[in-house]
Structure 1
């Protein structure tokens, strides 16, 4: 994490969370990334849940990078999935997919199942907030 911009919050007596943060304090401009689905720039989708997760995360990161940040500046992710069992049954494979894009940055996160997403083929949509460095 960019320590000058971001600090994880852990209430006294709580165990350190694994794979996410309970809260994040930021000191820098915030970028609010609209929901990114797992499609490529040509609007085609990977066939698998994990493929779509990796692409959705890459799409989030592309927006953050365009704003001057990186994976380590992302402080919040909200995941919307159409099949919670696909998420639950792929947890062991999900870690490497996540880390390939996000590294070891584990922001505050929420994940919810939704009935459907706007794009029929979409299995996941991810929103983000990042604290980016002030432009020089």
Structure 2
């Protein structure tokens, strides 16, 4: 499937966004993904490590997106919910490496929010997503 025709929105004079887009203009079939956490397909945690859970959560997002025929190039929005912003900031380089190894160089519009807790006690990150696939022809 071809990449979604989309355009990154970056106002003139703004400092360059690194690792995310300020906005995305896209046209096509929309796919909405619920929040995915860092457990495997059997809903079992293989790691209590923040970066390990980020990898698994991103892989889970892509697995569900693949069911619609999409890939990371079709993502237009990611919202991250994390339980410890210090863990994220202290390990930002590792998170970036994991992100690029799973998602490639696809950087949709993103938001990250620190939350008091997630529903699953062992979860350290939850990621929800929106993707836009090309119109069916």
Common fold: TM-score over 0.5:
yes
User: Stretches of 4+ moved more than 6 A in 1?
Assistant: none
Greater mean deviation of Cα atoms: 99-108 or 39-48: 39-48
Unaligned 5+ runs, structure 2? none
Gaps of at least 5 residues in structure 1 are none
Name 2:56's counterpart in structure 1: 55
SS in 1 for 2:95: helix
Q: State the 1:47 CA deviation.
A: 2.1
How many residues are aligned here?
Answer: 135
| Superposed displacement of residue 134, structure 1 | 2.7
Q: TM-score, normalised by structure 1?
A: 0.94
Match of 2:101 in 1: 100
Match of 2:8 in 1: 8
Contact 1:68 1:133 in 2 (8 A): no
Contact map agreement 1:50 1:97 (CA 8 A) in 2: yes
Q: Summarize deviations over 1:53-111 as a string: whole Å, max 9, x none.
A: 00000001111111111001101000000111110111011111001111000110000
Q: What does residue range 72-83 of structure 1 map to in structure 2 within 5 Å?
A: 72-83=73-84
Residue 22 of structure 2: aligned partner = 22
TM-score by length of 2: 0.93
Q: Give the root-mean-square deviation of aligned CA atoms.
A: 1.4
Match of 1:98, SS state, is helix
Note if contact 1:69-1:133 (Cα within 8 Å) is conserved in structure 2. Answer: no
